[in-house]
Amino acid sequence: MRIDIITVLPELLKSPFDASILKRAIEKKLVEVHLHNLRDFTVGNYKQVDDYQFGGGAGMVLMVEPIDKCISALKAERDYDEIIYMTPDGVTLNQQSANELSIKQNIMILCGHYKGVDQRIRDLHITREISIGDYVLSGGELAAAVLSDAIIRLLPGVLNDETSALTDTFQDGMLAPPVYTRPSNYKGMEVPKVLLSGNFKAIEQWRETMALERTKEKRPDLLE
Global model pTM greater than 0.95:
no
Provide, rounded to the nearest whole percent, the portion of the chain with pLDDT above 70: 97
Tell me the domain boundaries of the chain.
2-152, 167-223
Domain 2-152: which CATH number of 3.30.70.1290, 3.40.50.20, 3.75.10.10, 3.40.1280.10: 3.40.1280.10
C-beta atoms surrounding 164 within 10 Å? 10
Spell out the CATH class of 167-223: mainly alpha
The pLDDT tens digits for 69-111 are: 999 999 999 999 999 999 999 999 999 999 999 999 999 999 9
Residue 165: pLDDT over 80: no
- C-alpha to C-alpha distance for 162 and 166, rounded to whole angstroms: 8
Structure confidence by residue, pLDDT tens digits, 17-71: 999 999 999 999 999 999 999 999 998 888 999 999 999 999 999 999 999 999 9
Q: What is the predicted pLDDT for the residue at 169? A: 67
Q: How would residue 171 be classed by pLDDT, with cut points 50, 70 and 90? A: confident
- The closest alpha carbon to 144, from 27, 2, 16, 26, belongs to 16
Res 95: pLDDT: 95
Coil, helix or strand for 32?
A: strand
Which DSSP helix (H) or strand (E) runs through 49?
none
Query: Which residues in the chain belong to E strands, given as ranges?
Result: 2-7, 32-37, 50-51, 61-62, 82-92, 106-111, 128-131, 185-186, 189-190
